Structure 1
Amino acid sequence: MTVDAPVLRVAIVGGGPGGLATAIALSKIPNVEVKIYEQATILREVGAGINIGTNSWNVLGLLGVADSPTTGHPEWTVLNMNGRSGEELHRRERTPDPSIKRPIIRTQRTVLQSTLLAHVPPETIQLSNKLDRLVDAGDKGLELHFKDGTSAQADLVVGADGIHSLVRDTAWPKLRHRLHRHHNLANTATCRSRPGPRPALPAHGLVALPTTHVYFSPVGAGLWEIAARAYHDPATHRASKASWGVPVANAHVESHFSDLLPDIRAALRRVPEGGWREFAAFAGPELTKLTAWDHRVVLVGDASHALSGAFGSGAGFAMEDGWVLARALEHVRNERGRALPLFERIRLPYYSHMQQAGRPARLEEIGEPSYDDRLWGKLSTDGGEDMSWIYMNDIGDVWADVLGRLDDTS
């Protein structure tokens, strides 16, 4: 006789791509009750562009939503240029691969958010629920207490609440306050017409100086994204600065790119006043565990790996996390004590590898770096490593491989 899996109450904190993907994957498992608790009053993504590469398409397919995000611009050619001379430094050409069903695209973050949201029942999402504290209530499970005075109980809490995760800070108290802000700030804006610096520049182009760069890219629906990143003195830009989507004046942004070519500066001036948003980049220590509190808390997405957007595929990583977590629970019939170690077995080494790949050699190791050394040091961030293990990752194949090697005691 087949015994039904026990009912598992899962609370997902955070309604971004990771939280939504986790809910979609878990909703397909028998006897799992899922709720998403999101602090925003309206669920929407903040930010301009996002890449949907092969790894992201793979997990979207496994989630059953890959046919939806069709609005975007294929990223066939990406050009890197010297921001002072205009010289072409590097050109990456992608040719259509018959084995890949969908091309890499650059699209708006809201497109991905809407795609995932359309596959989550409205009653699953609780808006205006900002987590205030998480309490271990023993046999009763975990208690989630919210700022508005309400509360909820769960058997498993998924921290999908981003790089400033309260779930992580609560379950890993020794890591609290160890998050630090990078000296770089990113500014993004969108335009209704091509802002490109010159007709010869391909649709996707990076114009760089040693401490700054500007990236131009179409994101579909007639919109163009400008992403501008610059070094900021930590003495005047402290870690208390808000981290996401802060409106900034055009003059503030333009002042950090005065050394770029005149036509690049002209492109920046085409952004309508009030169109820029500022995003601080944060990073933190590498975690040695992704689960805590006797396998009742697990982290997904940015909450689990504070890499400050180093690989430009954070949404894909988060969706992979959610899918693997669901498969692990399904495989052991909702037994947290077996499922979460299995989740860690797959995702922890992946993020550890990513942490190492995201640490390029320091420029001082080559002596007195020239302007060109510094520029190439900025553009070359992977040490020449083949990064297909990230961008071509098929999480379904990874799962099948691990499952095939599991012994009966796993």
Structure 2
Amino acid sequence: MTVDAPVLRVAIVGGGPGGLATAIALSKVPNIDVKLYEQASILREVGAGINIGANSWNVLGLLGVADSLTTGHPEWTVLNMNGHSGEELHRRERAPDPSLKRPTIRTQRTALQSALLAHVPPGTIQLSKKLARLVDVGDQGLEMHFKDNTTAPADLVIGADGIRSVVRDTAWPDYPLAFTGTTIWRTLLPLDAVQDLDPRFQITGWWHSPTTHVYFSPVGEGLWEIAARAYHEPATHSASKVSWGVPVANAHIREALRRVPSGGWREFAAFAGPELSRLTAWDNRVVLVGDASHALSGAFGSGAGFAMEDGWVLARALEHFRNDLGRALPLFDRVRVPYYSRMYAHLARQAAGRKARLEEMGGETSYDELVRNKIITDGGEDMSWIYMHDIGAVWADTLEELENTRKA
């Protein structure tokens, strides 16, 4: 006779894409009582646009959400330009891939959030719940203490609370975050407000300087995104800057920036932290998903996809081991830790390569040469392991490995 899995009280901290996807995935696992705690009083995304590529479409399909995301700008063409002269340095053209049901799109973060929210069971989300600390109460599990002086019990706490994760800082108190030197500004405005300036504004494009860029892209529904980055030496600049500036000279770019209405910009200081050898802690009663688990400051532009994959894999691991945390969470680590480790290794190689190229170029290097050196063309390293990642196939391979191990 089959014995029912024990009822598991699961608390998700954070209502971004990772937290919402985790709630959806866990809601389909028998005998899991899931609650999501979000510090905001209104659940809304902060930022502007977001990329949805094959990896994200794959996990959205597994979650049953893909058909709910219906707006976005297909990225058939991506341009890289010299930010000073406007010269087109590289053009990547994507032809429709018959093996893919949906194209890579740039869409609004709110569109992804709305699609996910539509699939979260009613009563799952509790707002205005900012986590203050976690307490181990022994056989009774964990107790969450919130800033409003309320508490909530849980058998498993999932940190989906971003790069400044309170859950991570509680379970890994010595984890260091550091300002990377990069500050990012994002905004949305109507495409009609700028499309008279340059026809390329209707295409996804990057205008580069040696250490900064301005990124433009339509995001669907008549809206247009600007994302600008600037770098300052972290040792001499704090992360609390309030002014901004982008060193580009094209008159039409500067005019596009001027057309952003007052108060339209949102500023984000980029932080990063080291690789974790495990994403689970406290005797398999705490687990991290999304940016909380890999503080990479959006290095690959696919953080929402990674976070949603985390949530889906965690749900599958709990389902496979019938809510046994002592077996399910190590399996989650087995699947996800090597993937994030590969990302950290890639970034280290990339940084070393840039440094070596600059050393070869010497000190008397022009602006144009530095920009050309910065741009990675299609001849670079194959990144399909990220952008074409099929988490469903990875999970199937994992189950096969487990079965082969059991039989051995």
Same fold, judged at TM 0.5 (above): yes
Alignment partner, residue 271 of structure 1: 260
Instruction: From 327, 338, 343, give the equivalent of 1:338.
Output: 327
Aligned residue number for residue 399 of structure 1 = 395
Q: Is the aligned partner of 1:349 residue 2:338?
A: yes
- SS of the counterpart of 2:406? coil
Counterpart of 1:289 in structure 2: which amino acid? Answer: R
Partners of 2:248 and 2:216 in 1: how far apart? 17
When normalised by structure 1's length, the TM-score is: 0.93
SS class of match (2:66): coil
Within 1, Cα distance between the matches of 2:20 and 2:177?
25
SS at match of 1:51: strand
Matches within 5 A, 1:359-374: 359=348, 360-362=350-352, 363-366=354-357, 367=359, 368=362, 370=365, 371-374=367-370
Q: Tell me the CA shift for residue 376 of structure 1.
A: 3.6
- Size of the aligned set, in residue pairs, is 397
| Counterpart residue identity of residue 85, structure 1 | S
Is 2:281 the counterpart of 1:292? yes
Deviations 1:216-237 (A, max 9, x none): 1001111000111112354664
d(CA) in 2 for partners of 1:80 and 1:201? Answer: 12
Counterpart residue number, 2:117 = 117
Residue of structure 1 in register with 2:10 after alignment: 10
Displacement of 1:180 in angstroms is: 0.5
1:266 to partner: Cα distance: 1.2
- The aligned counterpart of 1:66 is 66
Q: TM-score, normalised by structure 2?
A: 0.93
> Would you say 1:190 and 2:198 are equivalent positions?
no
Q: Within 5 A, what are the aligned runs for 1:107-186?
A: 107-175=107-175, 178-186=176-184
CA shift at 1:374, angstroms?
A: 2.7
Tell me how far 1:116 sits from its aligned partner. Answer: 0.7
Moved more, 133-142 or 361-370: 361-370
Change (3 A) 1:89 1:294: same
* Displacement of 1:336: 0.5
User: Could you tell me which residue of structure 1 aligns to residue 39 of structure 2?
Assistant: 39
Indicate conservation of the 8 Å contact 1:83/1:207, yes or no: yes
Q: Secondary structure of the residue that 1:402 maps to in structure 2?
A: helix
Alignment-mate amino acid for residue 351 of structure 2: A
Cα deviation 1:46-69 (Å, max 9, x = unaligned)? 110001111001000000111011
Check the 8 A contact 2:229/2:246 in 1, yes or no.
no
Question: Aligned in 2, Cα 1:125/1:218: closer, same or farther, shift over 3 Å?
Answer: same
**CA offsets 1:337-358 (integer angstroms, 9 cap, x no match):** 1101111111000000011112
* Deviation of the 1:203 alpha carbon: 1.1
1:338 maps to amino acid: R
1:383 Cα deviation from its structure 2 partner: 9.1
Shift of residue 265 of structure 1? 0.8
Aligned-partner Cα distance in 1 for 2:273–2:4: 41
| Aligned residue number for residue 297 of structure 2 | 308
1:316-352 CA-to-partner distances (Å, cap 9, x unmatched) read 0000000000000100111011101111111000000
Rounded Cα–Cα distance in structure 2 between residues aligned with 1:377 and 1:155: 51
C-alpha distance in 1, partners of 2:14/2:65? 20
Asked if 1 retains the 8 angstrom alpha-carbon contact of 2:16 and 2:113, the reply is: yes
Structure 2 counterpart of 1:375, one-letter code:
V
Closer, same or farther: CA 339–91 of 1 in aligned 2, 3 Å: same
Aligned to 1:390, which of 379, 386, 391? 386
Deviation at 1:27, TM superposition (A): 0.5
SS of 1:122's partner is coil
Q: Sort the Cα spacing of 1:50 and 1:393 in 2 relative to 1 into closer, same or farther, 3 A.
A: same
For structure 1, the residue ranges without an aligned partner over 5 or more in a row are 243-247
Contact 1:163 1:306 (8 Å CA) reproduced: yes
Q: Who is 1:245 aligned against?
A: none
**Structure 1 residues 344 and 235 mapped into 2: Cα distance closer, same or farther (>3 Å)?**
closer
CA distance in 1, matches of 2:388, 2:336: 16
Task: Quickly say closer, same or farther: Cα 1:19–1:200, change in 2 above 3 A.
Answer: closer
1:357 touches 1:382 (CA, 8 Å); kept in 2? no
Q: Which of 71-80 and 186-195 deviates more?
A: 186-195
> Which ranges of structure 2 fall in alignment gaps of 5 or more residues?
none
CA contact (8 A) 1:358 1:381 kept: no
Structure 1 vs Structure 2: percent identity of aligned residues?
Answer: 71
Change (3 A) 1:302 1:238: same
- Matched-pair contact (CA < 8 Å) for 2:78–2:91: yes
Q: Is the 8 A contact 1:107 1:220 kept in 2?
A: yes
1:184 shift after superposition: 1.1
Post-superposition CA distance 1:68-115 (Å, at most 9, x none): 111111010000001112211111111101110011111100001111
